[in-house]
Copies of this chain bind each other. A is one copy, B any other.
């Protein structure tokens, strides 16, 4: 991997643990295996490194998001997929989202960095809310509206359904960001949550 790219990787790694202000240019250089002044051949300042991380992660997110809304019409394809899969499909989708958010190395580190820096910069606050609240909620709301219209789920407020489905995943994700060792304790709870959610909103009366 190029030195330029390795600088971004190591900087993100350090920023996600200690925050921008507590990481010194010399720390990044050491992690890369060079001396601090050499960094300035690749980036013109510490802030420039931070901005490069931001640009790269924003692009990466937009690529992922574009893949989900394949046809451009929110969640329609997915709703079709899950229309007949029901409970197990919902479990698979929820656990998949949770595991991706929690375990993807870059996604996790970038989220932790945003968590630390969110109150210092309105742009970072917007980014965090978009990626971890607004986008997932609107996507899932569209999906649940579809599943209700298809007769699979009860016809309740789809925004509330999305909130109730997603926020447990979000909250447990923030806990696991702080305490990775507690993940095993929460995995079963998430699955139970999704099955209980499915049972409550399912139109079938065989509960």
Residues 112-130 of A, flagged 1 when their CB comes within 8 A of B and 0 if not, give 1001101110000100110
Which of B16, B19, B189, B193 sits near A19, CB closer than 8 Å? B19
A200 within 8 A of B: yes
Report how far A32 CA is from B49 CA in the complex, Å: 35
Among B129, B167, B189, point to the contact of A170 (Cβ < 8 A): B167
A184 at the interface (CB under 8 A from B): no
- Where chain A touches its partner, the secondary structure class is helix
Q: Does A57 contact B (CB under 8 A)?
A: no
Q: Using a Cβ–Cβ cut-off of 8 Å, how many residues does chain A contribute to the interface with B?
A: 41
Q: Is the CB of B168 within 8 A of A164?
A: yes
Interface residues of A (CB under 8 A from B): 16-19, 21-22, 112, 115-116, 118-120, 125, 128-129, 133, 156-157, 159-161, 163-164, 166-168, 170-172, 174-175, 177-179, 189, 192-193, 196-197, 200-201
